[in-house]
Amino acid sequence: MSSAQEGEQAAAGMQNLNIQDQADGQQGGDAKPTVILVIGMAGSGKTTFLQRLNAHLHAKKQPGYIINLDPAVTHVPYGANVDIRDTVNYKNVMKQYSLGPNGGILTSLNLFATRFDQVISLCEKPRDPPLQFIVADTPGQIEIFTWSASGAIITDAFAASFPTMVAYIIDTPRCVGPQTFMTNMLQACSILYKTRLPVLLVFNKIDVARHEFALDWMADFENFHKALDSEQSYAATLSRSMSLVLEQFYQAMPAVGVSAVTGEGMDDFMAAVGRCAEQYRTDYLPDLQRRQAERAELEQRRQAAELERMRADRAAGGGSDGGAGSSGSGGPGRKVLDARPGATLAAAPATMQAATQQAAGGKSLAAGASGQRQRSGRLSSALPASGARKPAARGPLAVRAEGESQPLEVLRRENELLKKTIMSAESAVTGLESQLTSAGVSVPPAPSAVAARGANGSAAPATAEDYWSPVVHVPEGQAFVEQYGLPSPIPEHDGTECLKWDPSLWSHADHFKYRWHVFKSIRAAIDANEGGLDKFTQGYRFYGLNRGEHEGKQGIWYREWAPGAKALALIGEFNAWDPQPEHWAIKNDFGVWQLFLPDKPDGTPAIQHRTKLKVRLETAYGEWVERIPAWIKWATQEWNEIQYNGVYYEPPLGPSKPGVLEEGKSYTFKYPRPPRPRALRIYECHVGMSSEEPKVNSYTEFKEEMLPRIRRLGYNAIQIMAIQEHAYYGSFGYHVTNFFGVSSRCGTPDELKAMIDEAHRLGLVVLMDIVHSHASKNTMDGINMFDGTDAMYFHGGGRGYHWMWDSRCFNYGNWETLRFLLSNARWWMDEYKFDGYRFDGVTSMMYHHHGLQTTFTGNYDEYFGMATDVEAVVYLMLVNQTLHDLFPTAITIGEDVSGMPTFCRPWQEGGVGFDYRLNMAIADKWIEVLTEQDDWSWNMGNIVHTMTNRRYAEACVGYAESHDQALVGDKTIAFWLMDKEMYDFMGAPGYGPSSPIIDRGIALHKMIRLITMVLGGESYLNFMGNEFGHPEWIDFPRDDTYDTSTGAFVPGNGGSLEKCRRRWDLADAEFLKYKFMNVFDRAMQHLDKAFGFVSAPHQWVSRKDEGDKVIVVERGDLVFVFNFHPTNSYTDYRVGCYKPGPYKVVLSSDEEVFGGWKNVTKDSNVEFNTQQSDHDNRPNSMLVYAPSRTVVVYAPAEYCDSQADSKESGIPGLAVKDLGPYYAY
C-alpha cells in the first residue's frame, strides 16, 4: 500500500471516531467521544502504550480524557483525569478486609463501580473543543477486570453512553511461539465473548520483534499449523485443537502493530479505532439495545410483581398504599439493604440499572430515585482514602452523605466480605475525606493543563510559585494520618523472573536462585519467629527508651541487646551518674538487657525530658565502659564537652496542634505526603551548610529560608544529607554514630519534623541520605564494640573494617543487625515522615572487595560470583520490600557505581528492589572532558554514550555534579570552567568588565546541565548552589590530621566555616552574572513540569555530529538542538524530528535573561514548519538556526506562548502556554 493510500485510509478511519448516536442508533445530534478500554497482561507494555497514546492524541490536537482503573499501580507516567487511587486506597482495602493483592484489586474495583455514574457524568460534560476520546487503563490482572461484576458494570456503563471498543495489548516478543500466540488468541476471544464489544488486537513492542508473523498466522490457518507441527508436546496438541475451534474468531479480529517506545504504528492504531467505532454503531449498538430492552422488561415485571406483593401485604395488615412502598418521587422505588451498621434502607443506584437497561445516546443515566445524577467534578469516596494522596485537578471531592445508594446486589454476592463491612468505617471516612477535600488549591484554568494539581477554575494566583507549585491546604486542627500498607507475600518462583529483561543473565541463573532462596529463608524465619516483617521492623518500639507499663504501673522501659556484657546499668543526670540498685538491668537468654523505671508518686517520669544519660556496662573481659544507648533518639554535645551524651527526648506536654511547633510538646504532622512524582527533580542539600553566613544552619532556618527558594526554582524533591547523628561534622554525615538520632547541631527532633511538614505543605518530596553501608568506628559515642566485643553488629576481624573509610562494616547475616537496620529504615519514615531514601555506598555493601581497586567492565561474572556479598544484597531486598510495602509511595535510590544488573528491578521478580540508581558515570565524564580536552576535541558520541549507557527497564537519576564534586580537592563545574576569573569578571553587563572565559563558562554551564537532564536518566539531581554556578569548593571545619590509609599528613583549616556555607547573595544580586545561571536552571525545572520530558519514554538521539559539534535529541514532544562548537554557528541547519510541525522555540539558552546574545529567542515567535523527509532517520525535518555554544528547545507550536513570561505567573525565559500539555508538580 502506498503512503498516500495509507494516509487516505487513516483519514477515513478518523472520520468514524466521533459517532453521532441516538437511542435509535441513527446518526445525528452532538458528537460523542470514543471510549478506548486498554486491556493487557502484566508486562505487555500496556501503561507505556497508554502514555504513548496520550502523547499521540495531544500531538494530533485531540487530547483524550484519561481514566486510571488500576488501584494497585504505584506510578502512572501520564496525567490521569480520573484516578481510582484518589477514591479507593488499595493498601487500606487489603488491610481492612484481610485480602491478598488480587482480592484487594477486585474489592477496590467493586467499591469504585458504585461511583461510576459520576465518572460517566464527568465524561459527558460539554467541552470546547468537544472531547473526542476517553481512554481507560485497566489492571494488568486481566481476569479481575474482564470477568468480574464490577468490570462488567464499568464496561456496560461506557457502552451505554459512548461508542466503546477494547484495545487488547499483546507483548509481541513473547508471542513468537505458536503456543504463546494461541494463549493470547484465547485471551482475546474471552474478552470478546465477555464484553461483546469490538476488540482490536494491538501487537506492541514491534521495535523489538516485528508482528507480521502474527498477522500471517491469523490470516493463514495452514501456516499457523505448520508452526505448530514443529512442536509435539501435549500443549502443542491442545493448541492445535483449540485453533480449529477458534479459527473463525481470530481471523475476523482486526489487528495492528505498534511500538510504545518509538511511536511506530500509532496512526494505524487510530485508523483501526475509527473502524471499531463504526462497527460499534452498526453491529454492537443494536445488540446492546436489544439486551438492555430485555433486561428493562424483566426488571419492570419484577418490580410490578414486588409492588403487587407489597400492596397485598399492606392490605392484609390494614396499611395504605402510600407507606414504605413509596419512593418519595411519585412512584414505587426499589429498595436494598444498606450494609452500614445501623443504616436505614436506601434506594438502589439506578445508574447501575441504567448501565444494563438504557440505550446509548442523548439520555442521561439516572442516579437515585429522583432520576437526577450527581454532577460532581470528583468521585465520592468509597473507602477511607489515603492521606498521602492529594487529589488531582478534577474539582472538590464529593463527600458521601448518609442514606445515599449502596452497591448492587451482584457486587455483594461477588464479594461476601463487602456484604458486612463495606461502609463500617463511615465515620473515619468523613474525616479523611474532609482532609482530601480541603487539599485542592486554586489554580487558574488552563485548557492544556487538565492534569494540573488543584485546578478548579478560580482566579489566577499572585505569583508564579502559586501557579506552578501550589501549596496544600488542610483545615485547622486536622492532623495527618499515615496510611500503612501490608507486607506482601513472597511470590512462588525461583528468583529468575527478573531475567526476562535480560536473557543473557540466564548464564548466572543459579546465583539468582540461591539469592532468592536466602531471601525467602530469612523472610520465613522472620514470619515464624518474630510475628512477621511488620512487627520485626518496629524494633524502636521495644529497644531503647520507651514509655510503657509494668505490673499496672506507668513508666519508662529501657532495653538493649548487648550479649557480651556481664552487667549493665543506666546512668545520667537523673541519678547523678551513679546507678542505684533499681537502675541495673536484667539480661535474658537472648542477650537483651531490660530495665523498668516506674513514674514517681506525683506522676512525673523517673527521667525528665531532655535529661542526659548513658549506659555503664561491664564487658566480657571485666572492663567497665560507658556507652550511648544504641537506639537513642537524640544525642547532644555541649560546647565545652568533647564526648556526646544520649538525651531522653519525650516532650512532657503531649502532642502539639497539627502543624504548630510548640515548646514542650511533640510535633503533630498536618500535611499529607506528596504523591510520587513521575520524575524526581532532586535538590540535594545539607541543612548545616545551607546558611549564607559561616555558621551551622538550623532546621528552622532551613524551613523558613531554603524551602521557599527550592520551591521557587521548580524542584519537586529534596534529598537531605547528614540527618543521622555523626560526631565528626567534617564527615559530611557519612560516619554515623547514632543511627536513630537526629543531628543535634541543627536542632531538635521536633524542629526537624516541622521542617519536613512544611516541605510537604509546599508539595516537596523529602528524601533522606541514609547510611547503612558502614558505621563510625567510635566507641564512646557510637555503636562500635558496644558490649566490648569486636563483632556484635559488625563482622569480626579484618572483614569488619573498611580500610579506606576507616569505619566498621555491618554483618548483614546477623539477626539483630537485620532488626537494627530494617527498623532504622522504617523509623525515619514512620516517625519523621521522610518519603524515601538515597542509600549511600551501596557498592561497598554488595561486594566483599567494596568496589575498591576493582574495575567493572560489564562482565556478568563480576556481579554474580564469589566477590558478591549475597547477605548484603538480600538485606537490600528486605529493606526495599519493607519500605515499598509499608509505605506505598516510598522512593528508594541506590548509590551503586558498579551497575549491577537487576539492581532496579522489583524484589518480587528477584531484583534488588531499588526505584532508581544514581548514574554516577556522568559526573566523572564531565570532569574528564573539562580537564583533559580542549573545546575542539569534545567527542559528541562519547558524551551521548556515557549519558545513555544504562540498563533497559532500570531507572536512573542523572546529574552533572553532586556534593562529591564540590568537596575540597575538587571543584564545581562552574569553577572548572571559569576558575579564578570568577573573582573579577562576574559583573553583569554595565557592572564591570567582561571576559571571554566567563562568557564561555556560563554558556557551557547551561548546556552541560540541560543535556544531562535530557539524556542522563529518568530523574535529575542537583546539589544546592550549583544551579547558579557556586564558586570554589566545600571545606568543612577540620583540624590537622593524618590519612589513615596512607599515613600522610593532612593540614586542617583551623576549624573554619568560611567555605562550608552557600553564597545565596551571589545568585540574588542583580549586578552579578550568577543570576543568569540561576534563572536558566529555574526554566529547566519548569520545562519538565510542563512537558514531563525527563520521564518520557521516547528518547531518540538523531544526530551526534563530530564536525559540527551538534547533538540533536528528541525527548517526549520536545526537540533539543545542542551546538557545542566553540566558534561555528549554523543557519538553515536541518534537524530531523519524529512528529510533524509546526514547532516554536520554547526555551533558548541564548535569551538575554539567561546571559545570552539573543541570536535565537522565543520572542521572535517564529513557527518552524516541517517537511516529510528521511533526514537522520527521522520522518520529518525542519530548518533552524543553531548558534555557537547554545541549546535551543523546540516544542509543538500549540503549546507555546512567546509572551508567557510577561505574565505574573510566567517563568522568565520560558515560552510555555499556560501550564503546558503534561503538567505535573
Which residue among the candidates 21, 769, 840, 909 is catalytic per the annotation? 840
Distances (CA, A) of 242 to 228, 246, 254: 12, 6, 20
Nearest CA among 1139, 1213, 1193 for reference residue 1169: 1139
**Separation of alpha carbons 1183 and 44, rounded Å:** 38
Give yes or no for a contact between 505 and 512, defined as CB atoms under 8 angstroms apart: yes
Length of the chain: 1225
Is 840 labeled as catalytic in the residue annotation?
A: yes
The enclosing H or E element of 1021 equals: strand 1019-1023
Could you write out the DSSP letters of every residue in 67-127? Answer: EE--TT-S--SS--SEEGGGT--HHHHHHHHT--HHHHHHHHHHHHHTTHHHHHHHHHS--
Nearest CA among 948, 928, 924, 946 for reference residue 937: 928
Q: List, in order, residues 6 or more apart from 331 with CB less than 8 Å away.
A: none
Q: List, in order, residues 6 or more apart from 1186 with CB less than 8 Å away.
A: 1110, 1121, 1123, 1129, 1130, 1133, 1160, 1192
| The Cα angle at residue 679 between residues 676 and 684, in degrees rounded to 5 | 90
Could you write out the DSSP letters of every residue in 142-188? Answer: HHHHHTSHHHHHHHHHHHHHS-EEEEEEEEGGGG-SHHHHHHHHHHH
Give yes or no for a contact between 1196 and 1131, defined as CB atoms under 8 angstroms apart: no
**Separation of alpha carbons 532 and 523, rounded Å:** 8
**Separation of alpha carbons 1221 and 452, rounded Å:** 9
**Separation of alpha carbons 592 and 976, rounded Å:** 54
Helices and strands in the chain: count of H runs, count of E runs: 33, 41
Nearest CA among 839, 852, 845 for reference residue 868: 845
Max Cα-Cα span within the chain: 106
**Separation of alpha carbons 561 and 579, rounded Å:** 19
Give yes or no for a contact between 82 and 394, defined as CB atoms under 8 angstroms apart: yes
**Separation of alpha carbons 156 and 158, rounded Å:** 5
Local structure of residue 497 (DSSP, 8 states): G
Residue 797 three-state SS: helix
Give yes or no for a contact between 892 and 836, defined as CB atoms under 8 angstroms apart: yes
Is 482 labeled as catalytic in the residue annotation?
A: no
Tell how strand 624-627 and strand 611-618 pair up: antiparallel
Where on the phi/psi map is residue 695: left (φ > 0), alpha (ψ -120 to 50), or beta? beta
In the block, cell 396499611 appears at: 319
The enclosing H or E element of 6 equals: helix 3-15
State the angle between helix axes of 266-279 and 46-59 in degrees (0 to 180), rounded to the nearest 10: 90
Which residue among the candidates 895, 961, 1081, 1218 is catalytic per the annotation? 895
**Separation of alpha carbons 1204 and 1215, rounded Å:** 5
Which residues are catalytic, by number?
840, 895
